[in-house]
Amino acid sequence: MTDAPLVSVVTATFNMARYLPQTIESILSQTHARIEAVVVDDGSTDDTAAVLERYADDPRVRVFRQPNAGQTVAKNRGLREARGEIIGFCDADDIWTADKLERQLPLFRDPGVGVVYGGFDVIDENGTYLRTPRFPHPTGRITGRLLADNFVHFPTSLVRREVIESAGGFDESLSMAIDYDLWLRISVDHDFAYAPGVLVHYRVWSGQMSRRKAERFDNAFRMMRTFLANHPDSVTAAERRAAWAHTYVSRGMWHAAEGRRREAWSDIFAACRLRPWDLRLWRAAAGMIKPLAAGKAPR
């Protein structure tokens, strides 16, 4: 890799004209000069076309349009069109900090590193900063830790082109958790590195895809089963049990918050059978057990 690699930033967008200009400007404003914004308009019906027309004369912005096919297909289209040695992702409602690439790219000097990720802040639909959860940030070979929880935040991540191509891109049978699935597959053969500090302003809002929790959990369970079937020796038995227990508890907490007592208890018991001694999991679940016992959903 040269000292100044071309970075391709893939943005798949559907009816995001409200936020798209901020996203594109944050990409083009990077202190790292060699960059292209690969924008895939996935059948938008709002003012997206007019927004993208503003960049018609900017050679750094390459626009591709297609009938609506969903985010997974759109992002794979972006990967096929990308020309850079390094690939990044910026969803059409997120904002990169200006020095994001400058801070991450030096970590690729280690030839064993396939992915570099980092920290983020959460903003709302108006750009107001919200309370941001903090996650662990392991480095090196992270498959065991990653299987339990996806701490590799998608908009912060950069990946070598040859690594993502070798992994086969995103699994188009999944509609959500597609980044989680990709990172797990890459983690089997490549190291991950972490760039400290805030790299992305991650937007949450009422219409966001990430709020579709039922679909997200369905995809996560299916993705984990497929990954473990294809890579049975990638994690230890203990790591496998910890991952399933964590996922069952997470879904149980969501069921409880939605008032589904039977489903919540079912997930709690499934996790307990796997790791009945795991105090960390039960501290997380404690907030739901008392309301469930009283027949009420937690607020």
pLDDT tens figures, 4-57: 899 999 999 999 999 999 999 999 999 999 999 999 999 999 999 999 999 999
Q: Residue 212's pLDDT band (boundaries 50, 70, 90)?
A: confident
pLDDT, one tens digit per residue, over 45-104 is: 999 999 999 999 999 999 999 999 999 999 999 999 999 999 999 999 999 999 999 999
CA pair distance 142, 187, nearest whole angstrom? 6
- 87 sits in which H/E element: strand 86-89
pLDDT of residue 265: 86
Give, to the nearest 10 degrees, the angle between helix 178-187 and helix 71-81: 50
pLDDT, one tens digit per residue, over 128-161 is: 999 988 888 999 999 999 999 999 999 999 999 9
CA pair distance 95, 121, nearest whole angstrom? 10
Q: 3-state DSSP: the chain helix, strand, coil percent, rounded to 5?
A: 45, 20, 35
pLDDT, one tens digit per residue, over 216-271 is: 899 999 999 999 999 999 999 999 999 999 999 889 888 888 888 889 889 988 99
Stated pTM of the model: 0.90
